[in-house]
Each structure stands twice: as structure tokens, then as C-alpha cells.
Amino acid sequence: MGVPTLADYEHISHIQTEFDELVNTKYLQGIQEHGGHLWEKPLEREAINEAVDQVVYLITLRDQIDEVCKLALKGLDEEMDARTACFHIIQTLGRVSDHEKPEDDGTSKKQLRKEMERWKEIAKS
């Protein structure tokens, strides 16, 4: 077992801070939507529904990560130019829409190939 590092403590602090903000917002939003006094409400049905939602989100997130890895590999293996691969990665994660796709005039692919050739020559020498 390892000893926690400063980075570990910073990470848990980040998680705690974000969770605190999220739970505060969600709890107050729930009061507005469903009324207060949560401790007086029947929760078992709602808890099961929330658990099902969480599993659906986790499976979808796993599938998104799998797709992103495939796209990154296509970019690395030159099946797709890096710019297009990056766009599809961002799109898969729901961070950009189709109309925001950057224009590619072909120069980025040419530059990438030129750079690869340069590194191959350096490796030979």
C-alpha cells in the first residue's frame, strides 16, 4: 500500500469541494421541486429509479470512453487525420455539435506527414 501524496490530498480536496457544491445545489433544487422535509418522504421507489439511472449513465460513459479510445487510435494509426479524430472525440463526449466542426483544408494532414517523415529521418541517423 502506498502513502498518500500531496497530489492525492489535492485530489480528494477537489472531489470534496465539488461534491459539496453539487449536493447543496441538488438538495435545494429538490426542495423546490418536491417540497422540503425529505426525511418524511417515502424514498425507496425514488432511490431505485435513481440507481437505475446511475447504471445507465455509467454504461453510457464506459461506451463513450471506448469510442473515444478507438477514435484516438485511428488518429494515431493515420486512418483518420488527427484534427478530425480530435473533433470526433470531443463530439462523442457531447462537447461539440456537427456545425462546429473545424474546416480542414488538408494542410494539417500534410504538415503531420511532413513532421513524421522528419522524425523518421532523425531516427535513422
Sites in the chain below the pLDDT cut of 50: none
pLDDT at 119: 66
For 41-103, the DSSP string reads S--HHHHHHHHHHHHHHHHHHHHHHHHHHHHHHHHHTTSS-HHHHHHHHHHHTTS--GGGPPP
Q: What is the per-residue pLDDT for 4? A: 96
Distance CA 51, CA 26 (A): 16
Domains of the chain, residue spans: 1-36, 43-115
pLDDT at 99: 54
3-state DSSP call for residue 22?
helix
pTM: 0.61
Burial class (CB in 10 A: 0-12, 13-18, 19+), 17: exposed
Give the type of residue at 53.
D
d(CA 101, CA 120): 31
Q: Confirm if 85 and 74 have CB atoms less than 8 A apart.
A: yes
Any residues with CB less than 8 A from the CB of 98 and at least 6 apart, and which? 91
